[in-house]
A and B are shown apart, each in its own frame.
Chain A
Amino acid sequence: DAEITQSPRHKITETGRQVTLACHQTWNHNNMFWYRQDLGHGLRLIHYSYGVQDTNKGEVSDGYSVSRSNTEDLPLTLESAASSQTSVYFCASSDRASGRTHNEQFFGPGTRLTVL
């Protein structure tokens, strides 16, 4: 069965360190998204990609970067981790919009990141 996986599931790091969170999907979806989830804020979009070599900034992109070298993977990098980036991070993917689809997104299980 197709799926979307994230690793690691839990990560503790120190302020200033570079951290990369992995996201891998086997849906063969063109679109991939990274969100962070904090209580009272729902899911906020960090970066997104509509295809290989395409990346775009979301509403909370400062301090984060992504790269898309293939269809399956969209790793999220925190260049210099800060305590404000302690959060739960979700990766999602969706098929290209068509008459049958409406950007329904499939989510990974999340990565809980703690920055000390």
Chain B
Amino acid sequence: TQLLEQSPQFLSIQEGENLTVYCNSSSVFSSLQWYRQEPGEGPVLLVTVVTGGEVKKLKRLTFQFGDARKDSSLHITAAQTGDTGLYLCAGTSYENAGGTSYGKLTFGQGTILTVHP
């Protein structure tokens, strides 16, 4: 069974501060995704990282995939109150059947981020 350890579980910061969320595993994943979830809603995809060492930027958010494709990080610069929410990392693994690949996700426990004004 593949596991993803996400840390920290809770993060409470002031507006303008920087923060980093970590996602670690002993398993290699084909790709890794980051989702953001707001109360009462389902998770929404932020980004997918595929290549070891890959860095992607989405405005103030920077996502990095580890060289060995076992870990990832999300860094937010100058956090805003609108960044408040639950952040989830998820690793993709594939099953092969009949020549077709079928993917499924393993999720980390999530990080609840609260940004105070």
Residues of A near any B CB (own CB < 8 A):
31, 33, 35, 40-45, 48, 50, 58-59, 90, 92, 94, 96-97, 102-110
Contacts and interface: CB of A to CB of B under 8 A. Distances in A.
Nearest to B111: A42
A41 B44 CA distance: 18
Nearest to A50: B102
Interface stretch (B11-19, B35-43, B72-80): B35-43
Q: How large is the interface on B (under 10, 10 to 19, 20 to 34, 35 or more residues)?
A: 20 to 34
Interface string B85-108: 000101010100100111111111
Interface in B20-44: 30-31, 33, 35, 40-44
A102 B43 contact: no
A106 B90 CA distance: 13
Contacts of B106: 45
